[in-house]
Structure 1
Amino acid sequence: MCLSADIGELPVQGKTAALVGMPKLVIFDCDGVLVQSEEITLSVLISMLNARAPGSATLDVTRFIEHFRGRRIAECLREAECILDIHLDNEFEQHFRQRALDALTLDLKATDGIVEVLDSLQVPYCVASSAPRSKIEHCLRIAGLFSYFEGRIFSCYELGRWKPDPLVFLTACDTYDIAVSDALVIEDSVTGIQAAVAANIRVLGFGPPHRRAQLAAAGALPIADMREVLAIFN
């Protein structure tokens, strides 16, 4: 989906309704869309990586939260090894995941407005995430959203292919017997948006105003408030 250069000239809700139309399936990403987990987990990861870094060669937290957002953790670790010139043992990812789960248990919250959106949707919806199923379910339970998505979870780990590969979105459409032209993806990361674009599925990019240009450049229509999704169905 290509966005026009004048996207900022119209109110987001009106532009959203006009561009997207009425979807028959809504596919949510989990981290950063349903729950506000990316900053928590990636802050833990970057802190652990910097603790292994020699001297002053460390990763800037703000920059690398954005850089790693939506990507497979194993891929992030390989890149960090090259940047920091370090070797991570086989147990590093396991330790990270446990510390991240502990941090999520303390601080994770559902995205503002998501319950209102889910309660209002009259079409099928699901979650399609690059995270392992165990993490998806853990996050949804902590945030009080698991009852909405039980039996509606698609994990890249179970498919063996990760975003920006489109398979997880295509699998969701196939499962619900919905054409990609009738689906809508809501993502917060460039990687996830690229996966939706590769699947030929229309995509909303959810994030704060300062990320609007980044999300639009990746191929999404940016929204800053989750409730804007409801404009599509008016």
Structure 2
Amino acid sequence: MKGFPVTKRLVIFDCDGVLVDSETLSSQVMREMAGAAGLDFSSEQALEFIRGRKVAEWVGQLEARLGRALPASFIPQFRSRSADLFATELRPVPHVRQVVEELGLPFCTASSAPREKILNTLSLTGLLPYFQDRIYSAYEVGAWKPDPGLFLHAAADLGVPAAHCAVVEDSLVGVRAGLAAGMSVFAYAPQESGTAADLMAEGAIAFDSMKELPRLLDGWNTWNPAVRATQ
């Protein structure tokens, strides 16, 4: 166990859409491949369709809409084409590097993506050194958001009670997972995404720029988790 003192807090970052600006690129590939299969999506629809979800889940929904199975090569091709696009166009989410550089709290990342993808995207964006061995994949835990298991596993592995954890997410399923785990949830919702109202309706504290996150986390760090847990 890579634990912290029990008085410590833990910030759990989602990866795609929170640390790395990958979801727009992935949704572009998904839109192209779905179009070739006979399903048309706008850019906004494609992004919402895949945001925060396991690839096999949204591929299954594509198949349901088509009324037929997609080729077995669809997911490997999606991952390969996405990786090619990441190699040239992937960037960190604006201002997130400064957040993790200056964050005075322990932190990790917990993602629905395979570990290989997490490592690749963090490496491409220069964020990997900040996370070291504090990387958690749903594929290794066997729990995908909105199941809280991934977040609970990360907290337990690092020796921090769930009530002492804050989750930073950008998707409805991620927000639901964090709240189900008994954690505080902050939702990154840039203005152009149009997601703030829905994320707040789920119970998250929404913000539209990573520049705002340190102030929010500073405020959260002054809360009494024991009192909050009884409310």
Q: TM-score range by the shorter chain?
A: 0.7 to 0.9
Deviation at 1:227, TM superposition (A): 2.1
The range that moved more, 162-171 or 202-211, is 202-211
Say which structure, 1 or 2, has more relative contact order (CA 8 Å, 6+ apart): 1
Does residue 33 of structure 2 align to residue 48 of structure 1?
A: yes
Gapped runs of 5+ residues in structure 1?
1-21
1:23–1:183 Cα contact (<8 Å) kept: no
Q: 2:43 maps to which residue?
A: 61
Alignment-mate amino acid for residue 222 of structure 1: A
Q: 2:66 maps to which residue?
A: 84
Task: Quote the RMSD (CA, aligned, Å).
Answer: 1.5
1:46–1:59 Cα contact (<8 Å) kept: yes
The one of 181, 206, 223 aligned to 2:163: 181
Alignment-mate amino acid for residue 45 of structure 1: M
Deviation at 1:149, TM superposition (A): 1.0
Alignment-mate amino acid for residue 25 of structure 1: L
Alignment-mate amino acid for residue 166 of structure 1: P
Alignment-mate amino acid for residue 147 of structure 1: P
2:90–2:124 Cα contact (<8 Å) kept: yes
TM-score by length of 2: 0.87
- Work out the percentage of aligned pairs sharing the same amino acid: 38
Q: 1:139 maps to which residue?
A: 121
Does residue 103 of structure 2 align to residue 121 of structure 1?
A: yes
Alignment-mate amino acid for residue 32 of structure 2: S
Q: 2:213 maps to which residue?
A: 229
2:8–2:160 Cα contact (<8 Å) kept: no
Inter-partner Cα distance in structure 1 for 2:28 and 2:144: 22
Deviation at 1:23, TM superposition (A): 7.2
Alignment-mate amino acid for residue 203 of structure 1: V
Q: Give CA deviations for 1:35-76 in whole Å, capped at 9, x if unaligned.
A: 1000101210121011011xxx42333113113200000000
Gapped runs of 5+ residues in structure 2?
1-6, 220-231
- Within-5 A mapping of 1:9-48: 24-48=9-33
Deviation at 1:130, TM superposition (A): 0.1
Inter-partner Cα distance in structure 2 for 1:218 and 1:230: 22
User: For 2:113, what is the secondary structure of its paired residue?
Assistant: coil
Inter-partner Cα distance in structure 1 for 2:28 and 2:202: 24
1:52–1:86 Cα contact (<8 Å) kept: no
4+ long deviations beyond 3 Å:
none
User: For 1:90, what is the secondary structure of its paired residue?
Assistant: coil
Q: 1:149 maps to which residue?
A: 131
